Amino acid sequence: MLGPLRICDDHGVTRPVPTGRGGVLLAALIVHAGTVVSVDPLADYVWNHDPPRQVRAALQTMLTRLRQVVGASVAPRIRTAAPGYVFDLRADELDLRRFETLCERGYAAYAAADWDRAASHFADALELWQGEPLAGVESDRLRLRVAGVALGSAALAAEVAVAMPPSAPRPASATAASVTRSLRMKWVPFL
């Protein structure tokens, strides 16, 4: 999610990501991974508050196509669950969740005055960024939702980078200036 939307099957093979509404549907399910998303919110994402009359049938058709595109090992993880649909993904399969976890670990290391580990965790978190969140997904609502979640953790990384003692060793990517520059470059489309 921290860049163009990509999905890999259970063998690590990158699968094609649908464009248009199919990509929005996939992104919506990934953003809400592990949580049942009802038909109405999905329809709002996919059709931008202007769904077709037979919205449930239209979503079912789109989900059938989506399951075909993502392949046999991923398709069973996109399932029907009352009152909607869920994409079963583990937290470690989502770059945004890994980013948040690394920032939390970085902050914990900072609080324990373990400067090397703090800098390493924050540097690893920043390395996960691949560009504009959900680039290519035609949904400002979804992209802004991901941006809001990620920005909170990124701000924490910047705050810690500024607060670390000047003598604390840190990788170049974890300096206050580089964190700020990285955030500015990656968030310009949202500011």
Domain with residue 66: its CATH number is 1.10.10.10
Task: Count CB-CB contacts under 10 A for residue 72.
Answer: 10
Residue 1 lies in a domain: no
Residue 154 has pLDDT above 60, yes or no: yes
pTM: 0.80
For 39-75, write each residue's pLDDT tens digit. 999 999 999 888 999 999 999 999 999 999 888 989 9
DSSP, collapsed to helix, strand or coil, labels residue 81 as strand
Chosen domain end from 89, 121, 142: 89
